Structure 1
Amino acid sequence: MADLKMNVSCFFFIQVLLLLFLSSFAPTNAQGLKVGFYDKTCSKAEAIVKKSVSDAMKNDPTIGAPLLRMFFHDCFVRGCEGSVLLELNNKKDEKNAAPNLSLRGFEVIDNVKAAVEKECPGVVSCSDVLALVARDAVVALDGPSWGVETGRRDGRVTNINEARSNLPSPLNNITSLISQFDSKGLDKKDLAVLSGGHTVGQGHCPLILNRLYNFTGKGDSDPDLDTEYAATLRKRCKPTDTTTALEMDPGSFKTFDESYFKLVSQRRGFFQSDAALLNNQETKSYVLKQTKSYGSSFSKDFGVSMVKMGRIGVLTGKAGEVRKKCRMVN
C-alpha cells in the first residue's frame, strides 16, 4: 500500500513537472508587458504621445480612425511588433499589401516617435508608440480610455505575403472571421467588440461594389443589406468607382460610440464582415445588447479587447530591438 501511495504521488509530481516544463514553451505573449513600463525609464512618454496625437487630430480631425486601424493591421501580422511601419526598397513590405494600401497616418507615427526619441533616446519602441497612439486616438474621438500595457520591442521583418494572408477581409463571412480571430487568440466576443471600431472612419466604394451590383453574379445586391441603404449607397458608389470614401457610421463617424451596433442590427453594416455579425448567435447577441441604452457595455469591452489584441505575438525582453526610426531597422 505504501508503495502504491508513493507511486501515485510520484505520478502527480511528474505530471506537475511536465506541465511546468511545457508551459515554459507556451506562447505567453503578454509576458514582460505591463501598464507603466516606462514610468522609470521615460516618465513623460505617455504624455508626449497624448499631446502629439492631440496636435495631429487638430490638424486633421479624420486621422483618428486610421491610427486605430493601423494598430489592428500591425497586430494581425507577425503580432504587435511594428512590422507594418517598416519599408523595403523592393516594395515587398506589409505597407504594399492590398489591404494596407489605404492605411494612412504613418507621418503621425514618425512625429510621435521623434518627440519621444528627443526626450528618451532609444527607450520607447515603435510598437508601443502604435499601441499608445491607438488608445489616445480613441479618447480624442470621445471614446473610452484604458491602461495600455507597454514593454514591446520592435521586429526586424516585414513581408507583403504575410499581410495578404493574415489580415481579415471586409468581404469575409462569419466562419472565416471567427477562424481568423481564433488563430490570434481572440474569441467571438472580441470579434464583435473590435468590429465596433467601425463606428469611426470611412470605407471605400471598391470594397462594397459587389454587395451593391453583383453579389451572386446575377447583377443583384446582397440580401443581407437593407434595400433603402443599398439604394443610398448606389447613389454614391457607381459600378466603376475606385476612389470614393463613405462614412461607415453615417452622422457619427467622428464620434466613438455604440451607434455602429444599431446600424448592424438594422442590416446597415457597411461591409459584409459587419453584416456577418448577425450570422452567429454569440456575435448577434452582443450586437443587439449594445443597441439598448441600459445594456451597452461597449466602452468597457473595447478597452478589454484592445489590451487582449495588444498581446498578440509581442517581442519582449531582449528579443527584437527598439528602432530609432520606425520605417527602418537599426
Structure 2
Amino acid sequence: MAVALLPRHSLLLLLALGAVQAAVPPPPQAQLQLGFYARSCPRAEAIVRRVVRRRAARDRSVLPALIRLHFHDCFVRGCDGSVLIDSTPGHPAEKEAPPNLTLRMLDVVDDVKAAVERACPGVVSCADIVALAARDAAAMAGRVRYELPTGRRDGTVSSAAEVNLPSPSASFAEALSAFRSIGLGVVDLTTLLGSHTMGFCHCGLIMNRLYNYNSTSPFDPTMDTGLLAVLRRRCPPHMVTPQNQSRDVIVPMNFVAPLGPFGLDNSFYPSVLAGRAVLQIDQELASSGAARRIAAMFASRPGNFRVQFAKSMVKLGGVNVLTEKQGEVRLNCRRLNS
C-alpha cells in the first residue's frame, strides 16, 4: 500500500511541536520534580523497578497491563491513583466502570506499595507508584527509557460514573477530542496508541467491526480481508455477550509483533497502514492525514517512536496531578486513609 509521506523536516517539526506542548510548565501547584523522593525515600524508584522486574519475570503480561493501568488512571480525574480505590456500599468506584473491568495486575501495585511502606512509611503515593511502574514496564518491554518527575498525591474521590474513556470503536475525531480534553494532542494520540502492539483484545470489543458495522456493510470495509477471516474464526458471534466480556475469548492486539505480545516496538504502525489493526480506534489513525503521516514515519523509524513514546508518557503522567497539600498519601492503595 502506497503511503504519502511528509518531507522529513515537516514530520520532525510536527513532533517538535508536540514536544514543546509537553514542555509547557503546569501551574505552580501542579509542578512535579525529578528525584522528588531523593531525601524522603531515596530507594523508592529502585524498589518499584525491582518489584516490577520480579513480577514480569514470572508473567510478561504484567508489562502491558501496567501501562494500560496508568492510562486509565490519568484519563479520569488525572494521575491520582483513583483507579485503584475499591468500591464501598452504595458507591461504585472507577474500577467498577465497564472500561475498567478488564484492568489487570492491580496486585502488582499492592506489592510495590507494601515494599515502599516497609522502607519509607507514609511517603510514596500510589499515584507515583502507578506512574513509575508504567515507566519501568515500558523500559522492560521495549527499551523505552525516560526520567519521570514525581511528587503526585493520591486522590480521595473515585466514582464509576465519572469514567469516560475513549471507546475502542471511537472515530478518530472522537478519540482526538478525548485526548485534547486532558491536554494531549494528535502526536500523543498516535504515539500512545502504539502501545496497542502489546497484549490481547477481548472479542466483545470488536464484534461490530466483524458482523454489524453499518447499514451498508456487515463488516468494516477498511479491515484487511485476511485479518477479517482470522478474527471471525476466533470470535464467532454466538460466543460473546456484553455480560461476559471480561471473560470472553481474546485475540492478539497485533498479529505481526516481532517481540511477541508483550514487547513494545513500532510494529503496530505497519499493521495500521495495511488495514490490519484489530481495534477500530487504532485503524482510525489511517483516516487522518496528520496521524497517518506520523504512523508512516514511526513505521520506518523505530528510534523516533521510542523517543516520542517517552515524551508522550511523561506528558500523560502530568495530567491534572495533585501535589503538595492536595489529596493524601494513601497507606493502602485500595482505600482512603479515613
Report the TM-score, using the length of structure 2 for normalisation: 0.86
- SS of structure 2 residue aligned to 1:269: coil
Equivalent in the alignment of 2:135: 135
Name the structure 2 match of 1:273. 281
Cα displacement (A) at 1:220: 1.3
Contact 2:153/2:322 (<8 A) preserved: yes
Please say if residues 143 and 255 of structure 1, whose CA atoms lie closer than 8 Å, have aligned partners that are also in contact: no
Whichever of the two has the greater Rg, that structure is: 1
> For residue 177 of structure 1, what is the aligned residue in structure 2?
175
- Give me the whole-angstrom Cα distance separating, in 2, the residues matched to 1:204 and 1:77: 22
| Kept after mapping to 2: 8 A contact 1:213/1:239 | yes
Quote the offset at 1:30 in angstroms: 7.6
Q: State yes or no: 1:214 paired with 2:212.
A: yes
* d(CA) in 2 for partners of 1:182, 1:230: 31
What is the one-letter code of the residue matched to 2:290? E
1:120-131 correspondence runs (5 A) = 120-131=120-131
Rounded to whole Å, the distance in 2 between the matches of 1:158 and 1:29 is 25
CA-based RMSD: 1.5
d(CA) in 2 for partners of 1:88, 1:277 = 35
Match of 1:188 in 2: 186
**Superposed displacement of residue 323, structure 1:** 0.3
Aligned to 1:5: none
- Between the aligned partners of 1:143 and 1:263, the Cα distance in structure 2 is 21
- Which residue of 1 is the match for residue 236 of structure 2? 238
CA offsets, 1:195-218, max 9 Å, x none? 001111111100001101110146
Residue 31 of structure 1: CA displacement?
A: 3.0
What pairs up with 1:258-269 in 2 under 5 angstroms? 258-269=266-277
Is 1:289–1:296's contact at 8 Å kept on the other side of the alignment?
Answer: no
- Partner residue in 1 for 2:101: 101
Deviation at 1:142, TM superposition (A): 2.7
Partner of 2:291: 283
| Structure 1 range deviating more: 250-259 or 46-55 | 250-259
Who is 2:70 aligned against? 71
Q: Give 1:229's aligned residue.
A: 227
TM superposition shift of 1:67: 0.9
How far has the Cα of 1:249 moved from its partner? 1.6
Q: Distance in 2 between matches of 1:240 and 1:77?
A: 33
The CA deviation at 1:112 is: 0.5
Change (3 A) 1:29 1:135: farther
Query: Aligned runs of 1:307-322 on 2, under 5 Å?
Result: 307-322=314-329
Partner SS state of residue 201, structure 2: strand
TM-score of the pair, normalised by structure 1: 0.88
- Asked if the contact 2:87/2:96 (under 8 Å) is kept, the reply is no
Deviation at 1:88, TM superposition (A): 1.7
| Matching of residue 110 in structure 1 with residue 117 in structure 2 | no
- Which structure 1 segments of 5+ residues have no match? 1-25
> Can you give the 5+ residue segments of structure 2 that lack an aligned partner in the other structure?
1-24, 241-247
1:300 and 2:310 aligned: no
For residue 326 of structure 1, the aligned residue among 295, 310, 333 is: 333
Counterpart Cα distance in 2 of 1:30 and 1:197: 30
Q: Please tell me the residue identity of whatever aligns with 1:57.
A: A
Deviation sequence 1:61-93 (CA, Å, 0-9, x none): 212111110000000000000000001223611
> One-letter code of the match for 2:76?
V
Percent identity between the two aligned chains: 42
Does the Cα contact within 8 Å between 2:29 and 2:324 map onto a contact in 1? no
Matched, 1:200 2:198: yes
After TM superposition, give the deviation of residue 158 of structure 1 in Å.
Answer: 0.4
Q: Which 4+ residue blocks in structure 1 deviate beyond 4 angstroms?
A: none
Query: Which residue identity is paired with 1:258?
Result: N
User: Partner residue of 2:158?
Assistant: 158
Q: Secondary structure at the match of 1:179?
A: helix
